[in-house]
Amino acid sequence: MRLELYEKHVEGLPSLTMEFRIKAESAGAKWKEQNGQVQVAFLKPEKGSVTITPITDRSRYQGRYKQDKLELPMIEVRLGQTVKILYYTESEEQMDKLLRAKNKLRLDVVWGPTQSEVYDAMFAFTKPTAKDVMFDLGCGDARILTAAARRFGTTGIGYDLDPKLIERGLAAAKQQNVANLITLRTENLFAADLSSATIIAIYLSDRINQKLKPKFFRELRPNTHIVSHNWHMGDWQYDERKFVLDNSRVIYF
């Protein structure tokens, strides 16, 4: 069960209530629904409960999509003494429609720059060397691969559908004298051949991570290291995690 709490809003999974039901039941948590309100009582990581209530007062929402005025249902999420408001979608198709409406390139994930504190933590987990091959799936401007190449001599392979970001990444690699170590492809990340990878870095979404999991098991060799920024792999439990940037970001290993 996963919920990301921020200062003025909360982010959850695309089908929030459905995911709560599935994961709460699988973890042995108690699920109760009455008059449209859902309550999940849990024991781990500590005892507590989450209450989800549909709301109609849309002015209470202060999150990142406030200006968009999305035509989506809204819920109040109460976690202990913390109360937040969030949009949610009732189906994966609805989430796809939302993403594509906001993104002219029709990408599944909208790119955001990765801060150095985040990839520092990734490197601390994966310990890249000149013998490693690091893949960044949804690499954007490839700053993670460029940093690993510059610091450790790591070979980097990145996939992204945005040609402008790929072009920016190639220019940065050339400027930092590591272009010989970096290969960037304007292709769908699901088309990547991961058999040579020793490290995988991702900053995608829970939904895409879940779709990638079978590919990882098919193509990756044992002991390949995977680090994910902000999104974990569902019921595939992480070995370690680290919070950075005043606990606003988490890296799963």
Mean pLDDT, residues 217-228: 95
Q: Are residues 139 and 19 in the same domain?
A: no
For 56-198, list the strands marked E by DSSP. Answer: 74-79, 82-87, 133-137, 155-159, 182-185
Question: Which 3 state secondary structure label does DSSP give 144?
Answer: helix
- Give the tens place of pLDDT for each residue, 77-103: 887 778 888 877 666 556 656 655 655
Q: Are 41 and 150 found together in one domain?
A: no
Same domain, 53 and 156: no
Q: pTM of the full predicted structure?
A: 0.63
Q: Are residues 163 and 53 in the same domain?
A: no
Any residues with CB less than 8 A from the CB of 250 and at least 6 apart, and which? 229, 230, 241, 242, 243, 244
Contact present, 43 and 29 (Cβ < 8 Å):
yes
**Do 137 and 93 lie in a common domain?**
no
Q: For the segment 43-80, what is each residue's pLDDT rounded down to a tens digit?
A: 766 677 888 898 888 888 877 677 777 777 888 888 77
Here the CATH number for the domain that contains residue 136 is: 3.40.50.150
Residue 99 exposure: Cα atoms within 13 Å on the Cβ side:
19
pLDDT at 36: 81
Residue 81 is part of which domain span? Answer: 4-101
pLDDT for 166-201, tens place per residue? 999 999 999 999 999 999 999 888 889 999 999 999
| Cis, bond preceding 45 (omega within 30 deg of 0) | yes
Residues 127 and 90 in one domain: no
For residue 219, tell me if it sits in a domain. yes
Q: Residue 195: CB partners within 8 Å, gap ≥ 6?
A: 219, 220, 221
In the predicted structure, residue 252 carries a pLDDT above the cut 90: yes
Residues 144 and 218 in one domain: yes
Is pLDDT larger for residue 128 or for residue 6? 128
| Number of structural domains found in the chain | 2
